Structure 1
Amino acid sequence: MQNQAVLAYDIVDNKTRRKAFKRLQAWQIGSQYSVFECRLNKRQSEELLLQLCNIIDEQQDKLLFVWLDSRRPAKALTKRAQIQFQTPAWYIG
């Protein structure tokens, strides 16, 4: 079963940013600059996150992955992401 998710990044290096953008374009159903809405199942999300984590610099870049489902937790995937969600993310649209 596929669910909707939002991925957002803040990547310092232009070359790395272009690589991440190209990877996300293949999975996205909508986007705005560095924020992508994707429809993924669990296996696909693991594959996409693995691809992105192999590209980015964990020490200086930021990557955020949020399932648009109140029953699934949001994840900040890099050391620089200082986001601590107290409530689930909601999608209206």
Structure 2
Amino acid sequence: MKNEHLYLVTYDISDPKRWRAVFKVMKGYGEWLQLSVFQCRMNSRRHADLTATLDQIIHHREDHVLLMDLGPADAVDPRVTSLGKTFKAVQRESIIV
């Protein structure tokens, strides 16, 4: 897909029930890296959908979600130092529905 950006999404959710809801949503948008960290390849529409969905789940006074735009997905070559498990950047894949 064209116009996709690579995002790093991280969150701090104070309630376990809301944390599970956010985690479930995030699994549909990207690759799980660590406990509350995902990397996602998204176009602007999917980014808007994700933002709106998360906005309805979280409690704004208690929770915090960061969506960091790392730039155009095809041009980004993440420079990552990974200790322990291997890091793998998200690649574009075909999805058959």
Aligned: 1:91 with 2:93: no
Distance change in 2, residues 1:30/1:17 (3 Å): closer
Q: How many residues align?
A: 74
* Residue in structure 2 matched with residue 22 of structure 1 by the alignment: 24
AA aligned opposite 2:50: L
* Residue in structure 1 matched with residue 64 of structure 2 by the alignment: 62
**Aligned equivalent of 1:5, options 7, 11, 16:** 7
CA distance in 1, matches of 2:18, 2:47: 20
1:16-67 CA distance string (max 9 Å, x none): 0000000000111342110110000001000001000100000010110100
* Residue in structure 2 matched with residue 49 of structure 1 by the alignment: 51
Task: Return structure 1 stretches of 4+ with deviation > 2 angstroms.
Answer: none
The Cα RMSD (Å) is 1.8
CA distance in 2, matches of 1:4, 1:66: 8
What is the SS of the residue equivalent to 2:6?
strand
AA aligned opposite 1:16: R
* Residue in structure 1 matched with residue 35 of structure 2 by the alignment: 33
CA distance in 2, matches of 1:67, 1:10: 18
AA aligned opposite 1:12: S
CA distance in 1, matches of 2:31, 2:14: 25
The normalised TM-score by structure 1 is: 0.73
- Higher RCO structure (Cα 8 Å, ≥6 apart): 2
